[in-house]
Amino acid sequence: MDDYQAQIERLKNLMTSAATDLAIDEQNESEYKQLRQSLLRQDKFKKLAPRFITTCGTLKEFKRDMQTVSQQYAGRRTHIANAFYALINSLYGTETMADAIADIVQQVDFGQLNLLPQDIQDKGREMSDVYLYLYCIENSLRIFIGEIMKKETVTVPTKVQETINKMKQSEQESKYLPVRGESDLFYCDFIQLGKIIIANWNIFGKYFPNKNEHWLNVMIDELYKIRCLVAHNSFVGEHERQSLKVYYKNITLQLKL
């Protein structure tokens, strides 16, 4: 990741933290001011930068602005992610796995769904896109953790191990279900995978933006919410779908997968 990309990622993470649970201090304000001034000197940044970056000179001012957008942290995170979407999307080349996923969705035969109302068919196509992204992100995290486990001693938190054991027991009782995989990581969803990483932050921290644990927590939380919507066959809106694509590109680039 070059300096320009790193600055944008750090700015987004800093502003997301400031809008939610960060106790803003002089150091945060100084970093924000330096990042903002450095990036606003570049035309390619100014063309796609969220409007609130140009209008808010301090983090405290930005936080007040976000409080008018939503009283809930989740609403502020979504607003920020959507505002940064075009800018972050511009950091990556056009030939990515995201494009491959889009091609797969286009090739799926939905002919058997013709009996359903058109709006249900359309939403089904959009949801198949969401599932593919979630599937790829979740398995990317599993691969990443698995590779680190080959080189480092990673401790699995007790509650995560209990969840894994329960899933294995359930699998044994339901013989008609396929075995998930050879690794215990296949019995973990986003929440458990995130807990493994956080519990071993001394090992995993160096692989994430500025060793920022908050960035990971925000990402895992948002991904899990989308995963729950998919699990309950609920429709995932446009804002969430855009955030999902950004997270996919971020995680695959950051972890060099």
Residues 210-227: pLDDT tens digits?
Answer: 666 777 788 888 888 888
pLDDT tens digits, 11-26: 988 898 889 877 888 9
Give me the pLDDT at residue 116, please.
55
Nearest to 64 by CA among 15, 30, 31: 15
CB atoms within 10 A of CB 144: 21
Residue found by looking up tokens 């995932």 in the block: 236
pLDDT tens digits, 137-163: 888 888 889 889 989 999 999 999 998
User: pTM here?
Assistant: 0.54
Query: Any idea where the domains of the chain sit in the sequence?
Result: 3-89, 97-254
In the chain, how many H helices and how many E strands? 13, 0
